[in-house]
Amino acid sequence: MTAPADPYAGFPAGFFTRADERPDPEFYGPPRLVTHIDDAAIAAVGELYAELGIDGSAATPVRVLDLMSSWVSHFRTPPAELVVLGMNAAELAANDAATERVVRDLNADPRLPLPDGDADAAVCCVSIDYLTRPIEVLAEVARVLRPGGTLAVTYSNRCFPTKAVRGWLLTSDEQHGALVAELVRRAGGFTEPEVSLRTEPGRGDPLYAVVARRR
């Protein structure tokens, strides 16, 4: 029997390793009730979600999965149902927009504890750079999204450098968009990803978005 193709073929050795390879629960154990991007970038995230029709202003109620979430999800108006999945129970408990909370280390187990076609949208805000198995996680996102469902990945130029994967640290913001888009393609099940800059260049934290739809 032919072994399945390596989804990471072509990436340099060590691309998805980190300087700090201790178990992630050790690093993320203390609650961090802070924001990781500035107010303009946060506003850009909320504007994106509204434009995509995946927040509480949507014409029909939507169910959204917020991957690698924390105490705030950056929706201008929270969706009718918001499943927040993250590493720290105290942070998730403080997220007032959440209707469901799931503590999960996706680097230890990339499977999502949700049924097929469960969500209308999935978002991942300034956290994609911490995934060591991003293709498996994104393939799971495709599984739990309904046909036509939205994937919105946003990122900036801030991170915890010891926990971001090495390949992220060695590439530019522009290259990050191409990287995330390629990860989405390799996951399968999505339309061609679209990359955009959502904030005005040179003013505060940049906010980039990669958006695709479930086929």
Spatial CB neighbours of 91, under 8 Å, sequence gap ≥ 6? 31, 32, 33, 69, 70, 71
Q: What is the pLDDT of residue 4?
A: 55
Q: How far apart are the first and last CA of the chain?
A: 29
Q: What is the pLDDT of residue 187?
A: 98
Contact present, 62 and 78 (Cβ < 8 Å): no
Q: What is the pLDDT of residue 35?
A: 87
Segment (H or E) for 212: strand 208-213
Q: What is the pLDDT of residue 209?
A: 98
Q: What is the pLDDT of residue 133?
A: 98
Q: What is the pLDDT of residue 1?
A: 36
Q: What is the pLDDT of residue 3?
A: 43
Q: What is the pLDDT of residue 13?
A: 97
Q: What is the pLDDT of residue 32?
A: 86
SS3 150: strand
Residues of the chain with pLDDT under 50: 1-3
Please tell us whether the domain made up of 24-213 is placed in CATH 3.40.50.150.
Answer: yes
SS3 108: coil
d(CA 151, CA 33): 25
d(CA 124, CA 50): 15
Contact present, 75 and 82 (Cβ < 8 Å): yes
Whether the model clears a pTM of 0.85, i.e. scores above it, the answer is: yes
pLDDT in tens, 70-124: 999 999 999 999 999 999 999 999 999 999 999 999 999 999 999 999 999 999 9
